[in-house]
A and B are shown apart, each in its own frame.
Chain A
Amino acid sequence: MDPLTWTGSLGSILNPALGLVAVLLVVAIVAVIVLSFFAAPVTLQSNPDGTISAKTGISGLADSAFRILVLALCAVFLAYIVGGVLLPYGDAGIIGAMAKRFLPVWIALIALFALSFQFKRKLGLYGKLFDSTVGMVGLGLVMFWVFTAIFGAMFDLIGTHDALSQISGLKNELPGIPVPNAADEGLFPHYLLGGDDQARDVFSRMVQGSGIVIAIAPLATLFAFMVGITLGLPAGYYGGLIDTIISFCANLILAFPVILLFYLLVTPEIVDTGIPSYMAAVLFLFPIIFMAVLLNSRYHTQPSFRTPLLIGVLGVMIYLYLVGISQADTALNFLPGSLDLFDIEPGILVVFVSVVFVNSPTSFRIVRGLALDLRTRDYVAAAQTRGEQAWYVMLWEILPNARGPLIVDFCLRIGYTTILLGTLGFFGLGLAPDSPDWGSTINAGRTLLSIYPHPALPPAIALLTMVLGLNLLADGLREESLKD
């Protein structure tokens, strides 16, 4: 078997096209910038029939050239992907082969966008996202990695090899290298993105790594928000001493160097004292408190409905809580093995707890600020004058109206958390050294970066696109939520 080239036979047409479009695009960008200093600006004028048309001058021409070239660039990229999917394996090179492997993701993305477009007027804020290009690009990037995590890490439909198995002779080999005796052993014929320093497949590790990031980052952010909301609402609503005390604690955590805190938390000696387990026990309690207060304040006027509801919801949550914090071989291990459904891997638990702990003060401050603002509204006064409990006012009158900024911040914060996870992996904190998560793989590839950059680049690019997508998504959401 021959090694794969990057673009295969497809490249003979598309590569020159890509080069041409790219050069023209650069020229157009320079032209637009230069012309903005000299030529008359594009002016809009309205026509008698009610439409607007742009008065085109030389700068109008440069503008439209720029727009066309961006579209052309997108078209070329699309051609690479479509060509890769359609042409038989090997003809379209590494890119084509990867495009083929990602087929389930493409299908899922197309289905998602088609459905969302169809019903975008009925989907509230999410639907409005499809009016903003930035938002759609962001959503596309994020959902690409979410689907990769689902199909790749959960169902193993995308990765080509096992993420941990080594094949001798492929150590640090370049992308597209054929796997020896692949046909005989029933293996995938190539290492698409080469092998790393332990002769494992870089592509498969990147795909597997997405699962860890996608699972931990949103969940950890969600927990951090639960903590932030449960503490931030009373702080903002009551103010005074409660506010002073909680804000002081939050500032204390914020002022502590984050990396040092992580180092402390994952040190074996500290883990042995059980501090991470106890912290998990405290932090995981907040969602339960949150749900209990939320439901009770809403339904306390109808005890016959409230009581069964609370018993049901809280029963499940408390059981999950107990299962979650009870770990074999840690300070907290009280559930008998038959009741203990699952154990969270100790490394992951530590990472999770630290991320939640560090993120909660920031979300606390946002919620507190919003509550401070919203508590002066008349509908809050109306709720107070009809004798509502304080928690009802906070959770049902204030919180829903703070959702816009909270959702935007949630998206941004998942991005930060992703980077934080990468940082933790990079420092080798928490997760096992052979874990395929992006931070650890970047760290592993770091040592030989000057000779073999290929093992470190794919996870780095994956991290970059994912966080970029989240930021764009947050931008799009903010833009659209302001337009109402």
Chain B
Amino acid sequence: MAKWDYDGPILEIDKLSISFFTRTREIPAVMEFSCVVQPGEALGLVGESGCGKSTVALGVMQDLGVNGRIVGGSIKFKGRDLNKMGTAELQGIRGSEIAMIYQEPMASLNPAMRIGQQLMEVPMIHERISEKDAYARALEVVRDVKLPDPERIMRSYPHQLSGGQQQRIVIAMALMSKPALLILDEPTTALDVTVEAAVVQLVKDLGKKYGTSMLFISHNLGLVLETCDRICVMYSGEAVETGKIEDVFEEMRHPYTEALFRSIPLPGADKTTRPLKSIPGNFPLPHERPNGCNFGPRCDYFTAGLCDAAAIPMVELASGDRHASRCLRINDIDWDAPMVAAVQKEKTKIGKVVLKMDDLRKYYEVNANALFGGSGTRKVVKANETLSFEAREGETLAIVGESGCGKSTFAKVLMGLETATSGQIMLFDENIQSTPIEKRNTDTVSSVQMVFQNPIDTLNPSMTVGRQIIRALEIFKVGKSDAERKERMLVLLDLVKLPRAFADRMPRQLSGGQKQRVGIARAFAGGAKVVVADEPVSALDVSVQAAVTDLLMEIQREQGTTLLFISHDLSIVRYLSDRVMVMYLGHVVELGTTDQVFSPPYHPYTEALLSAVPIADTRVKKRHIVLEGDIPSAMNPPPGCPFQTRCRWKSQVAGGLCDIEVPPVRFLADGHQIKCHLPDDVLTGMEPVITIAAE
């Protein structure tokens, strides 16, 4: 189908309602959703999981599956209603006029076809151009997405590329036929932070270059701030606030938007003086939505009789450009009132050293030939190199790094699932580096416990919540009788602020945040002294993240637990940790107190990480440092400094030292250590990455 010209907006959605039909009932997923995307404009669609943002995207693509139906409203693309188009017409538009980029790059590429073929297919189908022209265009686009050695990339299969490269190819494919509208559904969630920053930068540049309009779906407010011109906040199937980025971020006019911003750790928030404020209650299920305002039951400004009376319309505001909000009390609420700080908490006392790592190394031997091992070539993967640090009672030590940096290996060695290759781990006064978990005594095992990342996986799906906690108590030899253990289990549920009735529930009846709380209760069953929290909140929605983080902090305050908080999210690390350790390819590249790590002098990698993390605050000015390339494989690390392949400061080191020698640990200030060859004057001359504009 030929492309047609149209002067008006690229996409106009008017009162769109989408429902899914199950055997028993109709589930409204999106209700009366309206938005407009002008040519060249990027609209961000933000909301928690289940709010219907992806459904809107699928609705635009007219790809709702067998159960989904558009039950009202219209979707006009360049002036033509997509709802009224036939299959053949839609086929002509999908991929050529509207392209979509999904979350999981590997799943979007055909693993059995070479990259070049997959790219060339697009214009060959939609525009019927010759193979030669298609190849030329593909090559050009691969260059545009800044992939090295485009000819080689065109010949390779998807599995030969890294995640970041795959996502670039997906973007290239979407751009092949120069679409008018690009829909990005959480395009960077599966990628590491530094790779994410590079991909986001790329999307922005390409959008400008090709003049493509974008619909950017994300749960990350910071990412939307960096990429979009306009934003639309969704809650429980409805748009609650929409407007220009600046208007919504600076003059938010909906209680949900406000609550959302208060629950994310922005610079300035602090766990003791300015704690986060989580949104009370739970996200309503589609069939349990209240009358009137969906956000009513969780809203601080709720007025009975007004907010729960009738459906609430979207109201255009006088200020700002097309700024609208779905709230009846816009004029009653004092939007500039400072956040009522929750009770200020006392700072946890930091006690004696609990855990001490000394020159810990963990190497894996990889046989080239697993079946007839022994004679073949052996490779050594250095998962952890010379890890030395100590953690004190009541302290939160954050371990920061991207995938493959060795943080999970370190956790395994600490837990006893693996034994160290060399070095020492001292837990209290005991050496545990070479004691596997079967040989550890119950005390040691119960005092080091772990909280896992994925809430779906953390609980055994076929055992009740209570049973799982009781099992941990049995193993840790807590309580003498079943009755005593049951009582203790209920106390643990109180500790993590879950109702006691949850003891008899199955995990599938719990929400993600609730499961994570049960995981925390289980970890503390034996009175754990050291808790390794492996990205405990990264898979949760922002409003729940704050609550779970606060819970961890509160338990720590009460019990003086040492928390090793593994994360790649620097915002939350800055908020809750006392000290930070930055890891890259098995090396600790920087270690110091939170303030030391977050202000110059930085290690070049820390600097890049800080710049990569999107911050949802318009006052924050960031320097953009985009790292080239991907993280090298731990199987085949670069010689010399592990970070030298991506380091932008490399030229400042005399004599090419970075290529030859692993930098030694240097102590800059009290307790601040860094692994870098950069001379002192360069380090002290570094500028801060993040500056907050004066208000």
Seen from chain A, the residues whose Cβ lies within 8 Å of a Cβ on chain B are: 44-46, 48, 50-52, 131, 244, 301-302, 377-379, 381-389, 396-397, 400-401, 403, 484
B450 touches A385 (CB 8 A): yes
- Determine whether B449 belongs to the interface, using a CB cutoff of 8 Å to chain A: yes
Q: Please determine whether B462 and A400 come into contact, CB atoms closer than 8 angstroms.
A: yes
- Nearest CB of B to A383, in Å: 8
- Measured CB to CB, the closest approach of chain A to B483, in angstroms, equals 13
Q: Does B529 make an interface contact (CB < 8 A)?
A: no
Partner-binding segment picked from B98-106, B338-346, B472-480:
B472-480
Kindly list chain A residues whose C-beta atoms are within 8 Å of the C-beta of B477: 301
**A388: shortest Cβ distance to chain B, in Å?**
6
Known contacts: A46-B69, A386-B445. The answer to whether A131 contacts B23 by CB under 8 A is yes
Contact with B452, one of A45, A51, A381 (Cβ below 8 angstroms): A381
Contacts of A244 in B (CB 8 A): 371
Q: Does B187 count as interface, using CB distance less than 8 angstroms?
A: no
- The residues of B that contact A378 with a CB separation of less than 8 Å are 452-454, 457-458
| Smallest CB-CB A-B distances: 4 pairs | A378-B457, A400-B462, A378-B452, A301-B474
In the complex, what residues of B have CB within 8 A of residue A48's CB?
Answer: 71-72
Give the residues from 321 to 371 in chain B that come closer than 8 angstroms, CB to CB, to chain A. 371
Q: Does B125 contact A (CB under 8 A)?
A: no
**A154 to B405 Cα, complex, angstroms:** 67
A376 to nearest B CB, angstroms?
Answer: 9
Instruction: Assess the B437–A377 pair: CB atoms within 8 A.
Output: no
Contact B475 A386 (CB under 8 A): yes
A378 to B450 Cα, complex, angstroms: 10
Which residues on the B side are within 8 Å of A45 (C-beta)?
69
Measured CA separation A400–B415 after assembly (Å): 25
Whether the pair A379, B371 counts as a contact (CB closer than 8 A) is no
* Chain B 407-443 near chain A by CB (<8 Å), digits 1 or 0: 0000000011100000000000000000001101010
Q: Which residues of B come within 8 Å of A, CB atoms?
A: 19, 21, 23, 26, 69, 71-72, 371, 415-417, 437-438, 440, 442, 445-446, 448-450, 452-454, 457-463, 472, 474-477, 508, 519, 522, 526
Name 26 A/B residue pairs within 8 A (Cβ), A-sorted: A44-B69, A46-B19, A46-B71, A48-B72, A50-B19, A50-B26, A52-B21, A377-B457, A378-B454, A379-B459, A382-B452, A382-B458, A382-B519, A383-B460, A384-B437, A385-B415, A385-B416, A385-B417, A386-B446, A386-B476, A387-B440, A387-B442, A388-B475, A389-B438, A400-B462, A484-B508
CB distance from A394 to the nearest CB of B (A): 13
| Complex-state Cα separation, A397 to B417, whole angstroms | 17
- B460 contacts A384, CB within 8 Å? no
> How long is the Cα–Cα vector from A378 to B453 in the complex, in angstroms?
8
| Known pairs A382-B452, A401-B462 / 7 extra A-B pairs, C-beta < 8 Å | A48-B71, A382-B522, A385-B416, A385-B445, A386-B526, A387-B437, A400-B462
Cα separation A386 to B470 with both chains bound (whole Å): 12
Once the chains bind, are B452 and A302 in contact (CB under 8 Å)?
no
Give the CA-CA distance A456 to B5 in the complex, in Å: 74
Tell me, in angstroms, the Cα distance from A379 to B516 when the chains sit together.
12
Please indicate the chain A residues that have their CB under 8 angstroms from the CB of B71 in the complex: 46, 48, 50
Closest CB in chain B relative to A251 CB, distance in Å: 14
Closest to A49 in B: B26
Out of A50, A301, A381, A401, which one reaches B475, CB within 8 Å? A301
Residue contact A385 to B437, C-beta cutoff 8 Å: yes
Q: Which residues of B contact A386 (CB under 8 A)?
A: 445-446, 449, 472, 475-476, 522, 526
Q: How far is the CA of A338 from the CA of B454 in the complex (A)?
A: 59
> Would you call A387 and B463 a contact (CB within 8 A)?
no
Task: List, in ascending order, chain A residues with CB within 8 A of B458's CB.
Answer: 378-379, 382
Write out the residue numbers on chain B whose beta carbons fall within 8 Å of the beta carbon of A50: 19, 26, 71
Which of B69, B462, B526 has the largest count of A CB atoms less than 10 A from its CB? B462
Whether the pair A384, B417 counts as a contact (CB closer than 8 A) is yes
B residues in contact with A384, CB < 8 Å: 415, 417, 437
CA distance A166 to B554 in the complex (A): 85
Compute how far the CA of A130 lies from the CA of B195 in the bound complex, rounded to whole angstroms. 50
Bound form: Cα–Cα A385–B412 in Å: 9
Q: Are A387 and B453 in contact (CB under 8 A)?
A: no
Report chain B residues within 8 Å CB of A382: 450, 452, 458, 519, 522
In chain B, what residue has the closest Cβ to A384?
Answer: B417
A385/B474 in contact, CB under 8 A: no
Question: Which residues of B lie under 8 Å from residue A400 when comparing CB positions?
Answer: 460, 462-463
Q: How far is the CA of A384 from the CA of B453 in the complex (A)?
A: 16
A403, B446: Cβ atoms closer than 8 Å: no
Closest to B481 in A: A302
Q: Which chain B residue has the least Cβ–Cβ distance from A244? A: B371
Q: How far is the CA of A272 from the CA of B477 in the complex (A)?
A: 54
